[in-house]
């Protein structure tokens, strides 16, 4: 492990706003955020928007919204690369003055021809450095290139990959500032990381090949290197590149599906990091344990089923009070009335152990929250469980329930069991019929629990309405 922490841990997440935040990027962001929080350091967000063709404001907005939903708060306002061109120019001036950079007038076609030639000779495609000794100044079509040392090795200790080494021979004099004045990606990243005092650069290992180039820029600037950590890509369950077909989605979609942000954070951290055998972590535990060690160098596979399981565990840990504000948007989206929040809170525990997402919770709670008149009885379940015999049992039970003094679940349970004993019918034969009457569907939570939260008046009304509905159907069939 490289020495850690450096005097002050400052991490950054540096997305390019060319798409929504996906789980790979989100995991990188979580790692960066956790490292900063663990060491009491700073976490900054940098929007790498220099590719003006592909960058879009809507993606910046969406990334910011996803970061905020995930609870990955930054310690300063987001930094936009497009607003820092004068800083990049200052660094260019310094490097030109020190002789570490030079003006190049080669046109892109010429450079391409050099590369083709090198390829044909079986060498690495590279710029041949022909403008280096010309002492050119600025001019139309002139770019600025880094004067890369002729040989040597670049070796660094990666937090994830261990010792990584590259041969300088493999690198050519890279462009730092394009002919149109824009900084190149590698140059802007280094200037930003240096000027923002970034101590730890954690990013996807698709950037590993950029790192030796960036290290050369650090050396030319005369800045100390940060600690690098290149995390492996997340793969699909088939070990192929992760994509939509594996069920991977953008973070905003998981929000719409009813995942809890703390569950997604928990799941993402575990895709590439471990702490003993623990699977479920709350935020405080993650901050306490995530010290940058135990990052896995093998690529992890995304498993949508496990994500749902992790979410279900976090859902179960919430009190009804905590669940309510998270659930309300999903109830509203289903068109379910939400004015009686006390009633909603009483209904939550009935379904909480039975669901994986908030969307599912809202959907399943729906019949409990609707008015009796708005319950839709599933015709197949009604036909199956509310035969003449089934309705007779429901009618008999309704009589008992209507006069039951104590309507708490224990008393309700006793009442139902007494009926079962006396009538000799099996509970499993009458329970689905009762549920159809109360909820519209044959399956659901415990009957006594359902009736307790509905209360006597509502329970009896639901039974009566369902009975007259079923009675009408039965006589229709008899005719």
| Residues assigned a catalytic role | 244
Pick the stretch among 13-21, 72-80, 248-256, 298-306 that binds ligand GLU (CB under 6 A): 13-21
Give the residue with the Cβ less far from ligand GLU, 208 or 324. 208
Indicate whether 55 belongs to the interface with ligand GLU (CB under 6 A). Answer: no
CB of residue 46 to ligand GLU, shortest distance in Å:
8
CB of residue 29 to ligand GLU, shortest distance in Å:
10
Indicate whether 146 belongs to the interface with ligand GLU (CB under 6 A). Answer: no
Pick the stretch among 14-22, 163-171, 252-260, 362-370 that binds ligand GLU (CB under 6 A): 14-22
Indicate whether 207 belongs to the interface with ligand GLU (CB under 6 A). Answer: yes
Indicate whether 453 belongs to the interface with ligand GLU (CB under 6 A). Answer: no
Measured on CA atoms in the order 361, 366, 368, 370, is the torsion positive or negative?
Answer: positive
Binding residue (CB under 6 A) for ligand GLU from 37, 203, 246, 398:
203
Indicate whether 47 belongs to the interface with ligand GLU (CB under 6 A). Answer: no
Contact 163, 138 (CB under 8 A): no
Indicate whether 189 belongs to the interface with ligand GLU (CB under 6 A). Answer: yes
Measured from each CB, the residue nearest to ligand GLU is: 203
Q: 271 by DSSP, 3-state: which?
A: coil
Indicate whether 459 belongs to the interface with ligand GLU (CB under 6 A). Answer: no
Q: How far is CA 162 from CA 10, 130, 301, in A?
A: 21, 36, 21
d(CA 442, CA 160): 52
CB of residue 48 to ligand GLU, shortest distance in Å:
4
Token duo for residue 18: 């060319």
Give the residue with the Cβ less far from ligand GLU, 142 or 203. 203
What are the b/e assignments for 383-393, b being 16+ CB within 10 Å? eebbeeebbeb
d(CA 232, CA 364): 39
Indicate whether 49 belongs to the interface with ligand GLU (CB under 6 A). Answer: no
Tokens 């994830």 belong to residue: 160
d(CA 351, CA 372): 19
CB of residue 362 to ligand GLU, shortest distance in Å:
34
Bridge partners for 246 per DSSP:
none
Sequence-separated (6 or more) residues with CB below 8 Å from residue 46: 12, 13, 14, 78, 79, 80, 81, 192, 196
Indicate whether 66 belongs to the interface with ligand GLU (CB under 6 A). Answer: no
DSSP 189: H
Give the residue with the Cβ less far from ligand GLU, 213 or 366. 213
Helices 447-478 + 341-351 axis angle, to 10: 90
Pick the stretch among 11-19, 247-255, 268-276, 449-457 that binds ligand GLU (CB under 6 A): 11-19
Indicate whether 14 belongs to the interface with ligand GLU (CB under 6 A). Answer: yes
Indicate whether 194 belongs to the interface with ligand GLU (CB under 6 A). Answer: no
d(CA 476, CA 289): 67
End-to-end Cα spacing for the chain: 83
Pick the stretch among 10-18, 252-260, 305-313, 406-414 that binds ligand GLU (CB under 6 A): 10-18
Interface residues with ligand GLU (CB under 6 A) are 14-16, 48, 189, 203, 207
């Amino acid at each position: 492990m490289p020495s850690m922490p450096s005097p002050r841990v400052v991490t950054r997440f540096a997305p390019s706003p060319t798409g929504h935040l996906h789980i790979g990027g989100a995991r990188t962001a979580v790692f960066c955020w956790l490292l900063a929080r663990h060491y009491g350091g700073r976490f900054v967000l940098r929007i790498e928007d220099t590719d003006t063709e592909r960058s879009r404001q809507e993606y910046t907005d969406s990334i910011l919204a996803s970061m905020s939903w995930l609870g990955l708060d930054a310690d300063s306002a987001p930094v936009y690369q497009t607003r820092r061109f004068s800083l990049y120019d200052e660094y260019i001036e310094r490097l030109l003055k020190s002789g570490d950079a030079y003006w190049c007038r080669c046109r892109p076609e010429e450079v391409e021809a050099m590369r083709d030639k090198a390829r044909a000779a079986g060498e690495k495609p590279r710029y041949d450095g022909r403008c280096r000794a010309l002492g050119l100044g600025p001019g139309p079509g002139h770019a600025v290139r880094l004067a890369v040392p002729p040989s040597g090795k670049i070796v660094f200790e990666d937090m994830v990959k261990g010792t990584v080494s590259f041969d300088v021979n493999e690198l050519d004099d890279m462009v730092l500032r394009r002919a149109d004045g824009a900084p190149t990606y590698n140059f802007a990243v280094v200037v930003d990381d240096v000027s923002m005092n970034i101590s730890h650069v954690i990013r996807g290992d698709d950037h590993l090949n950029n790192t030796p180039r960036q290290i050369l820029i650090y050396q030319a600037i005369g800045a100390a290197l940060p600690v690098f950590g290149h995390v492996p890509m997340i793969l699909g369950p088939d070990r192929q590149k992760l994509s939509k077909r594996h069920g991977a989605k953008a973070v905003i979609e998981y929000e719409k599906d009813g995942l809890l942000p703390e569950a997604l954070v928990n799941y993402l951290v575990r895709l590439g990091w471990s702490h003993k055998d623990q699977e479920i972590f709350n935020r405080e535990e993650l901050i306490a344990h995530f010290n940058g060690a135990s990052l896995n160098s093998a690529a992890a596979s995304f498993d949508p089923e496990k994500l749902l399981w992790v979410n279900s565990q976090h859902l179960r840990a919430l009190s009804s009070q905590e669940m309510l504000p998270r659930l309300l948007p999903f109830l509203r989206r289903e068109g379910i009335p939400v004015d009686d929040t006390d009633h909603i809170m009483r209904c939550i525990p009935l379904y909480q152990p039975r669901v994986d997402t908030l969307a599912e919770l809202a959907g399943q709670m729906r019949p409990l929250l609707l008015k009796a008149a708005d319950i839709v009885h599933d015709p197949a379940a009604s036909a199956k469980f509310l035969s003449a015999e089934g309705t007779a049992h429901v009618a008999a039970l309704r009589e008992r329930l209507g006069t039951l003094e104590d309507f708490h679940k224990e008393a309700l349970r006793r009442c139902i069991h007494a009926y079962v004993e006396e009538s000799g019918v099996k509970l499993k034969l009458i329970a689905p019929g009762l549920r159809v009457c109360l909820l519209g569907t044959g399956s659901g939570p415990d009957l006594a629990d359902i009736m307790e939260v509905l209360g006597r008046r509502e329970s009896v009304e639901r039974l009566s309405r369902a009975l007259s509905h079923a009675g009408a159907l039965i006589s229709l069939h008899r005719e």
